[in-house]
Structures are given as C-alpha cells and as structure tokens.
C-alpha cells in the first residue's frame, strides 16, 4: 500500500519562509541544512522551525538522519552547508551564546551515577554558570518531586526517577530550546505518562520550544503540536499528528509512519513534488 503525500513547500521558498520565521517567534530555525560523508548524504536540504511554547516531533526510522540533525543543532557536528539559529543566534558564528539558550536530555545520556541527585544538579549548574544556583536547584527538585531523593545516588534510581532528574538538569539554564531524544524509551506506561505530562507543562510554563524524537506514535500524537517525517535525510511530510493520518488515507499515525518508512525515497519524492 502506498500513501498519497500532499505537497510540502521545499527549496528556496521554504528556506525564505523559515528565515523570516527564525527572526520572529521561532526559538529554532533550520534552513537548507545538509550533512555529507564522502558520497553519503546523511541530511539533505532540511528546513524547519520550532516556535515558542511548541512541541515538534522529529520522526523517522533508524538511520533517517534524526540524530545527525540534533547533533548539528547542538554544535557537536558541523553542517556541510545550511544555517541553524537558536533564539535568533547563528550557531556557526556564535556557538557558545546559542548553546547557552539550549539544553538536551535523552534516555541514553545518563547522569554520573556516583553523584547524588543534588550533586548532579549542582555540578551541571556550575558548568552552566547559573546565578543563585541553590534556589534554582530547590525549584527544580520541587517541580519534579525529587526532594526525597536529593541525597540518593543517581546510579540506584529507577528509570522514571533518572528521567525526572535528567529533565531537571535540562532546565537548569531555563533554556529557550529543549531537545529531547527518546525521553520515555525505557519507562513503564505509568512513568511515561507522568513524564509526558511534565513535558507538556514545560512547554506551556517555561516559555520554551521543544524538539522531540520518539518511535512511540501514541505519545507523539498525544504530546506534539506538529510532526516532521524524516527519511533518507529528507523531510517528506509535516503537519498536525492528529490530522495527518486521515489526510493521507490511513487510520493511525503509526500506520503512516510505517508506510513512509517502507516507501522507497524516489517514490515518496515523486509524490511530494
């Protein structure tokens, strides 16, 4: 079964549109981003934006280019070409200032297990140069219900507790852009639901934009305001995760994901053009 894709604005017009948006309400503006390794294009002419108080899902099968895109946004990888702006700051030209507005959390990026919850928050707070750090730590311990765990080493915490500590760490600098890579991947359903609720609350109350990657289409549909489908380093489709399936003739977001992941790149591109 093939999925009929609606046209997505690409190329110069989309790049100009995102440039304009990155100067106004967007906390993240990515324009014509490319990353090549020898003859392999890991990311090819990707353009998108994340607005303030918006949660955007970056979706795609393994090897689609999601992690490469995130690593370029974080300044870990240098793009082959293209432009990234965080809170209007060009990452290539003013990396330190741009990343001061940014933070990151992922299930695979564990905090030092030999440090307690409070020690971890203090350690990273000192790295970020947080003013009035003690007060900020107390605020985050309360926000994520971690007061009773403050003197517990992170290595002995449950997966759900470790995720809450990682989110507290990611908010130490009150980021304008928060990157979350599979934040609930190892959690049981109850813990995952709690974390999803906390992340939705963060987007509303912390005045930040969130870029979220996940393979769990149920939680993507529940949490994200907008999704981008990435395949072979290209964005094939974007829109409201609750409306996209019906618009493309399938019942669920998971079905749409599977069809896009299986479809050859040239066939998908023919439908997008």
d(CA 148, CA 136): 17
Q: Which residues share a beta bridge with 146?
A: none
Q: What pLDDT score was predicted for residue 273?
A: 38
pLDDT band at 62 (very low <50, low <70, confident <90, very high): confident
> What distances in angstroms separate CA 167 from CA 28, 79, 135, 145, 153, one per listed residue?
19, 27, 17, 12, 16
What pLDDT, in 10s, does the model give residues 124-142? 999 999 999 999 999 999 9
Q: What pLDDT score was predicted for residue 182?
A: 85
What pLDDT, in 10s, does the model give residues 208-220? 999 999 888 988 9
Tell me the mean pLDDT in the region 89-106.
92
pLDDT of 185 > 90? The answer is no
Look at the block and give the residue holding tokens 């599977």: 258
pLDDT band at 196 (very low <50, low <70, confident <90, very high): confident
Q: Which residues contact 20 (CB under 8 A, 6 or more apart)?
A: none
Mean pLDDT of the chain: 86
Task: For the chain, give the percent of residues with pLDDT over 90.
Answer: 60
Name the more confident of 12 and 158.
158
d(CA 262, CA 211): 24
Instruction: State pTM to two decimals.
Output: 0.84
Phi, psi dihedrals of residue 84, rounded to the nearest 5°: -130, 130
Q: What pLDDT score was predicted for residue 266?
A: 46
pLDDT of 15 > 50? The answer is no
Per mean pLDDT, which of 82-91, 177-186, 252-261 is the most reliable?
Answer: 82-91
């Amino acid at each position: 079964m093939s999925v009929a894709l609606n046209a997505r604005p690409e190329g110069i017009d989309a790049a100009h549109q995102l440039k304009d948006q990155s100067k106004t309400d967007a906390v993240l503006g990515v324009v014509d981003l490319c990353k090549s390794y020898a003859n392999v294009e890991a990311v090819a002419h990707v353009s998108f934006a994340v607005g303030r108080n918006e949660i955007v899902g970056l979706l795609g099968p393994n090897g689609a280019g999601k992690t490469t895109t995130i690593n370029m946004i974080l300044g870990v990888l240098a793009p082959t070409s293209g432009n990234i702006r965080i809170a209007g700051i060009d990452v290539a030209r003013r990396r330190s200032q741009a990343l001061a507005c940014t933070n990151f959390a992922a299930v695979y990026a564990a905090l030092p297990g030999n440090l307690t919850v409070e020690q971890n928050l203090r350690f990273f707070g000192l790295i970020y140069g947080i003013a009035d750090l003690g007060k900020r730590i107390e605020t985050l311990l309360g926000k994520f219900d971690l007061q009773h765990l403050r003197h517990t080493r992170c290595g002995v915490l449950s997966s759900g507790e470790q995720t809450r500590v990682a989110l507290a760490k990611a908010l130490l600098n009150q980021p304008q852009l928060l990157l979350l890579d599979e934040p609930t991947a190892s959690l049981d359903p109850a813990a995952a639901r709690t974390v999803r609720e906390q992340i939705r609350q963060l987007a509303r109350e912390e005045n930040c934009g969130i870029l979220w990657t996940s393979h769990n289409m149920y939680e993507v549909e529940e949490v994200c305001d907008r999704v981008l489908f990435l395949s072979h380093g290209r964005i094939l489709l974007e829109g409201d995760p609750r409306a996209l399936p019906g618009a493309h003739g399938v019942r669920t977001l998971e079905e749409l994901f599977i069809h896009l992941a299986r479809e050859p790149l040239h066939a998908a591109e023919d439908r997008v053009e």
